C-alpha cells in the first residue's frame, strides 16, 4: 500500500513541475501547453482516491477526537469501528455513482471538451479503481477490527483508533 502513496506523491510532484513549466512558458514565450489544468484534475482525482485508501489502512483519516477520548474505551472502540464501516459504505456509494458515470462515458464514447480530447473512460477507470480500493480498504480494516476485538480493546485500538501522540512521534522518528 505504501508504494501507492509514493507513486501518488511522485504524480503530484510531476504535476507541480508541469504547472511551473506552463507558467514560465506562458510568461517567457507566450506559449501554453494546453490541457495542464485538465491533467491536473485527473491527477488530483486519481491520487485523492488512492490516498484515501492509504489513509484508511494507516489510520490517518481525520477525526474529531476531543470527545472520543473522553468516552469509555469500549464506546471508543465501537465508534472507531463504526467510522470504518461508514467510510467503506460511503466509498461504495461513491463507487456506484462513479460506475454510472464511467458506464455513460463508455456508452457514449465521451471525450474531454479540451484540446486534449482525452477519452473519459481512461481517467474515470483510474478514479474508479481508487474508489474501489478505498472502499475495500476501509471495509477490510473494519473486518480486521471486529476480529481484533475478540482479542481485546488493545488489539482493536492498534487497528482502528487514531494514532496517539506517542505513536505519531515514533512514526516521525523513523
Give me 6's grid cell. 509514493
| Per-residue pLDDT tens digits for 14-51 | 999 999 999 999 999 999 888 899 999 999 999 999 99
What is residue 140's predicted lDDT score, i.e. its pLDDT? Answer: 94
pLDDT digits (tens, 9 = 90+) for 103-144: 999 999 999 988 899 999 999 999 999 999 999 999 999 999
Q: What is the overall mean pLDDT for the chain? A: 91
Report how far apart, in Å, the C-alpha atoms of 78 and of each of 53, 68, 107 are: 21, 11, 43
Classify residue 34 by burial, with Cβ atoms within 10 Å: 0-12, 13-18, 19+.
exposed
Amino acid at each position: 500500500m505504501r508504494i501507492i502513496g509514493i507513486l501518488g506523491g511522485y504524480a503530484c510532484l510531476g504535476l507541480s513541475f508541469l504547472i511551473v513549466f506552463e507558467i514560465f512558458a506562458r510568461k517567457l514565450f507566450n506559449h501554453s501547453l494546453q490541457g495542464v489544468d485538465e491533467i491536473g484534475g485527473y491527477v488530483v482525482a486519481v491520487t485523492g482516491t488512492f490516498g484515501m485508501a492509504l489513509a484508511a489502512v494507516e489510520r490517518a483519516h481525520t477525526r474529531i477526537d476531543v470527545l472520543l477520548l473522553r468516552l469509555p474505551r469500549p464506546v471508543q472502540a465501537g465508534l472507531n469501528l463504526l467510522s470504518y464501516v461508514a467510510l467503506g459504505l460511503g466509498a461504495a456509494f461513491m463507487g456506484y455513482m462513479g460506475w454510472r458515470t464511467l458506464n455513460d462515458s463508455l456508452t457514449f464514447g465521451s471525450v474531454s471538451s479540451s484540446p486534449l480530447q482525452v477519452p473519459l473512460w481512461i481517467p474515470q477507470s483510474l478514479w474508479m479503481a481508487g474508489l474501489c480500493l478505498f472502499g475495500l480498504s476501509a471495509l477490510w480494516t473494519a473486518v480486521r477490527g471486529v476480529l481484533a476485538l475478540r482479542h481485546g480493546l488493545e488489539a482493536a485500538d492498534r487497528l482502528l483508533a487514531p494514532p496517539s501522540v506517542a505513536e505519531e512521534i515514533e512514526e516521525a522518528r523513523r
